[in-house]
């Protein structure tokens, strides 16, 4: 038999203001906490953007990069993600949000469409295959983006 695994696109499911009805302060809390984090350590900004890119390129923007595995097979265990910084910042934001609005957590400080539920599957091999190697040139990176229906602007 053949097993087909789709890499789902979530753009239709995401929207700015997704939590307006269930936690109207959610985006403001995320913004304020991210502002505080970046004030404490401005060097985290590019790391968090990198994390966002790595998460979205593997199975869509579902937060699966945050998941841990006991066997070292999660996305965060993949070679391109081993040097990733920012997990603690995201956990801090999630903890603050959970305190104010239980069962709610998502997104960085800029307008990001929300609504897709957190992933519960994480596979290092997907990250190894879906992310552009660190030595990629711009043509290679554009190709990786194109495969995900993204443009150079994205």
pLDDT tens-place string over residues 40-64:
999 999 999 999 999 988 888 888 9
Is 24 strand, coil or helix?
coil
Please give the positions annotated as active site: 54
What structural domains does the chain harbor?
14-147 (1.10.520.10)
What's the whole-model pTM score? 0.61
CA gap 2, 4 in Å, rounded: 6
Q: For the chain, give the mean pLDDT.
A: 82
Is the model's pLDDT at 118 over the cut of 80?
no
CA gap 105, 114 in Å, rounded: 10
| Numbered residues of the known binding site for Ca(2+) | 55, 58, 60, 62, 64, 75
| Numbered residues of the known binding site | 55, 58, 60, 62, 64, 75
**Distance from chain centroid for Cα 105:** 12
């Amino acid at each position: 038999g053949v097993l087909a695994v789709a890499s789902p696109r979530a753009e239709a499911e995401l929207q700015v203001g997704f939590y307006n009805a269930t936690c109207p302060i959610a985006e403001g809390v995320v913004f304020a906490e991210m502002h505080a984090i970046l004030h404490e350590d401005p060097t985290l900004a590019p790391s968090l953007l990198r994390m966002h890119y790595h998460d979205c390129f593997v199975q869509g923007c579902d937060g699966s990069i945050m998941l841990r595995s006991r066997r070292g097979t999660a996305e965060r265990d993949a070679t391109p993600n081993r040097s990733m910084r920012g997990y603690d910042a995201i956990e801090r934001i999630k903890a603050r949000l959970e305190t104010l609005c239980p069962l709610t957590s998502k997104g960085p400080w800029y307008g990001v469409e929300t609504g897709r539920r957190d992933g519960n599957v994480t596979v290092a091999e997907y990250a190894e295959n879906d992310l552009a190697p660190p030595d990629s040139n711009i043509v290679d990176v554009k190709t990786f983006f194109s495969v995900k229906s993204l443009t150079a602007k994205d």
